A and B are shown apart, each in its own frame.
Chain A
């Protein structure tokens, strides 16, 4: 695909990093030369300096022939303007970031009346992610696939007896499920049967939901049933606002601590059900006065990563059941979760995941970036002309770094073994290291053009280079 990304902030960069590769041609536009230099020095993208909302620039870049324009500058209005212009110039698909809560109600209007194909709101997405986590029963549950039939869970290896020190092939504790990824001291490993489990490992299990649930029930230490009732949110920004209103509608009691008086008044007016405290969230006395230790969950959503981290640790120390911290730098997520914080959320990563899901749309039904974007779990339907159809998995030359975790065929969940044969219309849930994505695609998507074309461009659909 030929993709134009306007705005090389954190989200734009993450998106470019995720997309640039043999599958997509990525052009990036920004006004800041240093942001462009950073991108072009590390990624295989074409940098263009300029204002992406300018008609002339978009025309010069050949927006008409682009497959997609993504506008993720710091201004909502600019993003919408860019998308409107690109759409009018004939670009088939456009996506924008819009994060002002005052516009949140008009997203549908943007989509239907203004024909913007996709709107991402990182703060809203983050709030939803946290809400899902807080409202969920098991702390180990990460994601559901295939309409809830398949679940992805994370489990510390030490919590399941008979696992540590053995190779995965020798482990028999996991019936009807499979270890799709192992998280070991900050690195993601896509295991094979010969991988030996270490005591500090965190295993990512995928499989039939009931099977995984049963396993967790069997080993009670894996996760007590635990729904948060009382939630304290530190910081009253956009994400906090979205989260509070979401939790309130689910009937939870919400306490927000925010420093700015005007913002407090605004929040109190907009969220009548919440208790808004005007004060410094880092003030331990205030937190104790507000019954920190009685809380079921603490969400620290201030604007500073360091504060969020310290406050979440503080909450853990005071016996809060679930602590969540927002971090703005995606590469810190794994480190922070290692410190004992239950969930570190990164708006950029969540938004990038949403956008990638939208962009890969046709091919991939569901996709999550796990471990700070090092690996992906994706769900897709096998197309009728996939090269892998009719070949035993053991003979299909599945590259290292890729695992087919579960396959759903006519409502039935299979955990594929070496003799499994993939059919068309199967729903596949696969683990894949980010850099192996092209290899995975080779298994499931046939080459569309002649060999010469493939050799020349190394991918399909690229006869048009109109960028300057």
Chain B
């Protein structure tokens, strides 16, 4: 293991994180929040010192192997989460470190599950920091590092691969640093657009940023304890947010294609089509179920259905209504959507549409094999044959995902909550959704769980964000054996 290089990269990431803290610092200074300013300054000091120390560890060799890349990504996420919790604790906003860690992990992994009861009581700086974590974690903090520090570019593809969501990460320029920069530019532009749109819908500037970070990063931290239920009469805002969540669930590489004028390629993208199809079908199903029963007008029904489908499917987790009170069918649809997620290469979590697409094609192939045992049927996505390695990876990911979900549900059921609550708690954290049903439903949050469960769910959030394998690889004893 090339510890020197791993340490240097981790140091750089921490310096970037420390730099990001200047934004909440500015907010806290503006609102004269004494405790928050002290907490943030202390955290910045600790981050800066640790970062400087690590980034000056001598590097013996610039070679980065798969092992180091995985170590950088997983350790990076763990360490960044740890340090992200510091401002919460040091400012006194969240006294318990376990709670702060849960909140930080939930922020970075864009889960949006919260253990804070009175969100409105948080200092503004800390409130923004939580949401800024969404934004940083959404596109990936290592991808950001790659964009800012192109020297990593030569060796960074392994890192990029381990952090980017989806089975076959897209590198669409020869230079990885350029790809990372393009991704971040699109991401920033989309965020800026959404901030302005949200602001135009009549929300304060600070809340606009918080809502946009939550929506574009598909995180789900809201500036209010009841998520967005209080804002749901604001129709324009609901539509803007639903649209921004939906857009953030699209593969960002497709936006690049659009900018390049490759309309046809984008339109014929099979993952995008399936993503659109699932969204439309789910909205239709919810609307049929809700219309007349919960909501009187068609407009209200469609708006609530679209908002909630976008929110859950892209794994954002904003709630515009207490869907725990909706009919069972609607709840079942939402629960199922927790296992879909957005597109690969987007900021969303969970399984991702393309993996479902590949799995569906594999299943179809097996059915056909009964009829034509000798037929050659490669799995074709977007006109390209998926190599059997990729297909195998997708299928085993899905199996592992279900296994982790089942085992996790067992663990959480020890809390004594009902089965749906336990299952949805795991689905909501593993899939980075952030909201479940019952005890972890829209009005409850994750406050009532024990510390052990909070730590376990934090682990699940990281596991889900890094798409299972990297974290499990680091945990396997073989990893540390030379």
Residues of A within 8 A of B (CB): 2, 20-22, 25-27, 33, 40-41, 43-47, 49, 435, 456-458, 462, 465-468
Q: State the 8 A-B residue pairs at the shortest beta-carbon distance, nearest first.
A: A25-B174, A46-B174, A465-B173, A458-B150, A44-B153, A44-B154, A26-B174, A27-B174
Quick check: B181 and A465 within 8 Å, CB to CB? no
Contact A457 B387, CB 8 Å, known A41-B157, A46-B171, A467-B172: no
Q: Which residue of B lies closest to A468 (CB)?
A: B172
Q: Which residue of A lies closest to B185 (CB)?
A: A456
Contact A462 B178, CB 8 Å, known A41-B157, A41-B158: yes
Indicate with 1 or 0, residue by residue over B165-188, a CB within 8 angstroms of chain A CB atoms. Answer: 000000111111110011000000
Chain A residues positioned under 8 Å from B372 (CB to CB) = none
Quick check: B173 and A46 within 8 Å, CB to CB? yes
CA distance A21 to B155 in the complex (A): 11
Chain B residues positioned under 8 Å from A458 (CB to CB) = 150, 175, 177-178
CA distance A47 to B161 in the complex (A): 14
Quick check: B158 and A46 within 8 Å, CB to CB? no
13 A-B Cβ contacts within 8 A?
A22-B150, A25-B174, A44-B175, A44-B177, A45-B174, A46-B174, A435-B62, A457-B178, A458-B150, A458-B175, A465-B174, A465-B182, A465-B260
Taking chain B's interface residues, is the majority helix, strand, or loop, or is none over half, making it mixed? Answer: helix
Chain B residues positioned under 8 Å from A26 (CB to CB) = 174
CA distance A41 to B162 in the complex (A): 12
Chain B residues positioned under 8 Å from A457 (CB to CB) = 175, 178
CA distance A49 to B158 in the complex (A): 19
Quick check: B172 and A46 within 8 Å, CB to CB? yes
Quick check: B181 and A44 within 8 Å, CB to CB? no
In chain B between 256 and 279, which residues have their CB closer than 8 angstroms to a CB of chain A? 260, 265
| Contact of B157 (CB < 8 Å), options: A40, A435, A467 | A40
CA distance A47 to B153 in the complex (A): 15
Quick check: B172 and A465 within 8 Å, CB to CB? yes
Quick check: B174 and A467 within 8 Å, CB to CB? yes
Chain A residues positioned under 8 Å from B62 (CB to CB) = 435
Quick check: A466 and B260 within 8 Å, CB to CB? yes
Please name 10 further chain A to chain B contacts, defined as beta carbons within 8 Å, in addition to the given A44-B176, A457-B178, A465-B260, sorted by A numbering. Answer: A2-B174, A43-B154, A44-B154, A44-B175, A47-B171, A435-B62, A457-B175, A462-B178, A465-B173, A465-B174
CA distance A66 to B182 in the complex (A): 20
Quick check: A40 and B171 within 8 Å, CB to CB? yes
Quick check: B173 and A467 within 8 Å, CB to CB? yes
Chain A residues positioned under 8 Å from B178 (CB to CB) = 25, 457-458, 462, 465
Chain A residues positioned under 8 Å from B384 (CB to CB) = 49
Chain A residues positioned under 8 Å from B154 (CB to CB) = 20-21, 43-44
Q: Which residue of B lies closest to A62 (CB)?
A: B260
A311 to B: closest C-beta gap in Å: 34
CA distance A457 to B176 in the complex (A): 11
CA distance A46 to B178 in the complex (A): 11
Q: Which residue of B lies closest to A27 (CB)?
A: B174
Q: Which residue of A lies closest to B152 (CB)?
A: A44
Of listed A41, A44, A457, residue having the most chain B CB within 10 A: A44
CA distance A44 to B180 in the complex (A): 12
CA distance A2 to B157 in the complex (A): 20
A101 to B: closest C-beta gap in Å: 35
CA distance A29 to B156 in the complex (A): 20
CA distance A388 to B150 in the complex (A): 25
A463 to B: closest C-beta gap in Å: 11
Chain B residues positioned under 8 Å from A467 (CB to CB) = 172-174
A52 to B: closest C-beta gap in Å: 16
B170 to A: closest C-beta gap in Å: 9
A23 to B: closest C-beta gap in Å: 11
Chain B residues positioned under 8 Å from A49 (CB to CB) = 384
CA distance A26 to B176 in the complex (A): 11
Chain B residues positioned under 8 Å from A22 (CB to CB) = 150
CA distance A435 to B61 in the complex (A): 12
CA distance A17 to B396 in the complex (A): 34
B268 to A: closest C-beta gap in Å: 13
B159 to A: closest C-beta gap in Å: 11
Q: Which residue of A lies closest to B158 (CB)?
A: A41
CA distance A43 to B153 in the complex (A): 9
B62 to A: closest C-beta gap in Å: 8
Q: Which residue of B lies closest to A24 (CB)?
A: B174
CA distance A47 to B178 in the complex (A): 15
Chain B residues positioned under 8 Å from A462 (CB to CB) = 178
Quick check: A33 and B157 within 8 Å, CB to CB? no
Quick check: A25 and B171 within 8 Å, CB to CB? no
Chain A residues positioned under 8 Å from B176 (CB to CB) = 44
Chain B residues positioned under 8 Å from A468 (CB to CB) = 172, 265
CA distance A320 to B173 in the complex (A): 53
Chain B residues positioned under 8 Å from A43 (CB to CB) = 154
CA distance A312 to B153 in the complex (A): 41
CA distance A458 to B153 in the complex (A): 11
Contact A25 B157, CB 8 Å, known A456-B181, A458-B150: no
Chain B residues positioned under 8 Å from A40 (CB to CB) = 157, 171
CA distance A41 to B176 in the complex (A): 11
CA distance A336 to B345 in the complex (A): 47
Chain B residues positioned under 8 Å from A465 (CB to CB) = 172-174, 178, 182, 260
Indicate with 1 or 0, residue by residue over B50-91, a CB within 8 angstroms of chain A CB atoms. Answer: 000000000000100010000000000000000000000000
Chain B residues positioned under 8 Å from A27 (CB to CB) = 174
B72 to A: closest C-beta gap in Å: 15
Chain A residues positioned under 8 Å from B156 (CB to CB) = 44
CA distance A457 to B181 in the complex (A): 9
Chain A residues positioned under 8 Å from B171 (CB to CB) = 40, 46-47
Chain B residues positioned under 8 Å from A41 (CB to CB) = 66, 157-158
Q: Which residue of B lies closest to A43 (CB)?
A: B154
Chain A residues positioned under 8 Å from B260 (CB to CB) = 465-466
Chain B residues positioned under 8 Å from A25 (CB to CB) = 173-175, 178
Of listed B62, B158, B173, residue having the most chain A CB within 10 A: B173
CA distance A386 to B171 in the complex (A): 35
CA distance A346 to B181 in the complex (A): 39
A322 to B: closest C-beta gap in Å: 36
In chain B between 173 and 223, which residues have their CB closer than 8 angstroms to a CB of chain A? 173-178, 181-182
CA distance A468 to B156 in the complex (A): 20
A86 to B: closest C-beta gap in Å: 17
Q: Which residue of A lies closest to B176 (CB)?
A: A44
B376 to A: closest C-beta gap in Å: 18
Chain B residues positioned under 8 Å from A46 (CB to CB) = 171-174
CA distance A43 to B173 in the complex (A): 13
Q: Which residue of B lies closest to A26 (CB)?
A: B174
CA distance A457 to B150 in the complex (A): 9
| Contact of B174 (CB < 8 Å), options: A33, A44, A435, A456 | A44
B267 to A: closest C-beta gap in Å: 15
A270 to B: closest C-beta gap in Å: 43
